């Protein structure tokens, strides 16, 4: 197993200081190792996550070669030839487990932003004090965007949040963590080959959730109550101005409707399964601003920093096998890549809705490795 940094590298290098998992502790389970601390309903801090993964590497006796960067993989007689910064390796099969989120996705029009405005991605962001004084425009209202908007607002800065398509969820539903419902009701176990629109499921943004000791809900209403200003999806930059889409009201209604449908699914399942929980709840609709602004002069000094919380993508720059499509996505069927002996794990909805979560890896890995063993056999 080759790792360019250390065990738990992405958590150590690519997250901000206050980061906590949004999945509850009891859900942090890997084959043969479950969370066994005193706070099963809490959310791990960065130190706790790295300690958990280090413990797992020891427990599973994984032969990790750290500080070994793979710079090229190419087909070779009987398998693949791997070049690393510390030597060459030949192998019959290869599993790509290099992560789904290696690079931040930033729109091309970011290049037209005036140089007086600093631009950061979540991979560079550590804490509010690192940014220039003044207003911040956070772009993207999924898990990362809502968490960073809240932290920056709490630090006393004016914050504008540009909202595109998003997934709204309450932190707690009928007295239980909403991710308990996802898990127990079987939603997270839905398989890739049973989904109506797999492509869409794979592109779904992360839910608006944060893991805090208070189990707070961090939806758009909560952000507005904190003083965050909402604007529409950022569509373009023209003459130094950011142009935002209108139609916030429709977008909010759609996200509310989808949340209601999901909660309805939980209610139906709870009734059938005879689950004891509080009574069904419904939440206040997302309040749209009366007249959200459609443009913002980026040269006026109102905004000193832009935080691009517009998602992440994998980096296959080192993969010299023709299995990546024009959109940069790996061509695979449930982790069986379109080249004999090549496999992948940890990609969105690889085999199940939970594929990119820590607790989602086990069933996927069993099936993918089953295929790999058959191939070798």
In the structure, how many helices (H) and strands (E) does the chain have? 8, 23
What's the rounded Cα separation, in Å, for the pair 186 and 137?
37
Q: Output the six-digit token pair for 188.
A: 């997270």
- Minimum distance of ligand FAD from residue 377's CB (angstroms): 26
| Sole window of 98-106, 225-233, 242-250, 298-306 interacting with ligand FAD (rule: CB under 6 A) | 98-106
DSSP 305-340: EEEE-S-EE---TTB-SS-B-TTS-B-EETTEESST
- Minimum distance of ligand FAD from residue 140's CB (angstroms): 11
Q: Mark residues 302-341: x for contact with ligand FAD by CB under 6 A, - for none.
A: ----------x-----x-----------------------
- Minimum distance of ligand FAD from residue 68's CB (angstroms): 6
What's the rounded Cα separation, in Å, for the pair 335 and 128?
39
| Sole window of 230-238, 279-287, 336-344, 352-360 interacting with ligand FAD (rule: CB under 6 A) | 352-360
| Sole window of 33-41, 93-101, 129-137, 284-292 interacting with ligand FAD (rule: CB under 6 A) | 93-101
Q: Output the six-digit token pair for 230.
A: 């909402």
Residue selected from 50, 142, 144, 162 as contacting ligand FAD according to rule CB under 6 A: 144
Q: Give strand pairing partners of 137.
A: 160, 306
What's the rounded Cα separation, in Å, for the pair 174 and 181?
10
Measured from the CB atom, the residue of 36 and 239 that comes closer to ligand FAD is: 36
Q: Say which residues have a Cβ less than 8 Å from residue 22's Cβ, sequence separation at least 6.
A: 43, 143, 179, 206, 207, 209, 210, 211
Q: How many CB atoms lie within 10 A of CB 244?
A: 23
Contact call for residue 121 and ligand FAD (CB under 6 A)? no
- Minimum distance of ligand FAD from residue 357's CB (angstroms): 4
Measured from the CB atom, the residue of 181 and 312 that comes closer to ligand FAD is: 312
Contact call for residue 358 and ligand FAD (CB under 6 A)? yes
Contact call for residue 50 and ligand FAD (CB under 6 A)? no
Which alpha helices (H) appear in the chain, and where do they start and end? 9-13, 46-59, 143-154, 178-184, 198-203, 220-226, 248-273, 361-376
- Minimum distance of ligand FAD from residue 250's CB (angstroms): 28
Contact call for residue 146 and ligand FAD (CB under 6 A)? no
| Length of the chain measured in residues | 377
User: 54 to 83, contacts with ligand FAD by CB under 6 A?
Assistant: 69-70
Cα 159 from chain centroid (whole Å): 22
Cα 47 from chain centroid (whole Å): 19
- Minimum distance of ligand FAD from residue 16's CB (angstroms): 9
Residue selected from 113, 356, 367, 368 as contacting ligand FAD according to rule CB under 6 A: 356
CA distances, 269 to each of 180, 262, 353 (Å): 13, 11, 18
- Minimum distance of ligand FAD from residue 100's CB (angstroms): 7
Contact call for residue 9 and ligand FAD (CB under 6 A)? yes
Contact call for residue 98 and ligand FAD (CB under 6 A)? yes
Contact call for residue 22 and ligand FAD (CB under 6 A)? yes
Q: Output the six-digit token pair for 38.
A: 């005193």
Q: Residues interacting with ligand FAD, by CB under 6 A? A: 2-5, 9-10, 21-23, 69-70, 97-99, 101-102, 144, 312, 318, 346, 356-358
């Amino acid at each position: 197993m080759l790792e360019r940094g250390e065990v738990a590298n992405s958590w150590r290098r690519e997250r901000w200081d206050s980061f906590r998992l949004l999945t509850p502790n009891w859900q942090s389970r890997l084959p043969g190792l479950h969370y066994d601390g005193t706070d099963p309903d809490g959310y791990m801090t960065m130190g706790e996550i790295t300690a958990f993964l280090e413990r797992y590497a020891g427990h599973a006796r994984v032969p990790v070669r750290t500080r070994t960067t793979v710079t090229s993989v190419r087909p070779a007689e009987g398998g693949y030839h791997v070049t690393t910064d510390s030597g060459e390796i030949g192998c019959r099969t290869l599993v790509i487990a290099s992560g789904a989120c290696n690079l931040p996705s930033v729109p091309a029009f970011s290049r037209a932003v005036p140089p007086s405005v600093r631009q950061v991605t979540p991979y560079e962001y550590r804490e509010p004090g690192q940014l220039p004084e003044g207003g911040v425009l956070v772009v993207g209202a999924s898990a990362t965007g809502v968490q960073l908007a809240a932290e920056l607002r709490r630090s006393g800065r004016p914050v504008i949040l540009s909202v595109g398509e998003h997934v709204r969820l309450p932190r707690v539903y009928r007295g239980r963590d909403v991710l308990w419902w996802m898990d127990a009701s079987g939603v997270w176990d839905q398989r890739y080959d049973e989904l109506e629109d797999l492509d869409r499921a794979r592109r779904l943004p992360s839910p608006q959730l944060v893991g805090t000791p208070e189990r707070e809900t961090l939806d758009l209403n909560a952000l507005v109550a904190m003083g965050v200003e909402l604007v529409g999806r950022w569509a373009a930059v023209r003459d130094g101005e950011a142009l935002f889409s209108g139609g916030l009201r429709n977008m909010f209604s759609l996200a509310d409707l989808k949340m209601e449908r999901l909660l309805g699914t939980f209610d139906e399942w709870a009734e059938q399964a005879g689950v004891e929980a509080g009574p069904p709840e419904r939440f206040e609709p997302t309040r749209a601003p009366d007249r959200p602004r459609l443009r913002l002069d980026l040269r006026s000094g109102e905004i000193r920093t832009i935080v691009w919380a517009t998602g992440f993508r994998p980096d296959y720059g080192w993969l010299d096998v023709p299995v990546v499509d024009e959109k940069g996505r790996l061509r695979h069927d449930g982790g069986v890549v379109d080249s004999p002996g090549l496999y992948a794990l940890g990609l969105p909805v690889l085999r199940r809705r939970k594929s990119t979560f820590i607790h989602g890896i086990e069933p996927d890995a069993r099936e993918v490795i089953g295929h790999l063993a058959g191939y070798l056999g």
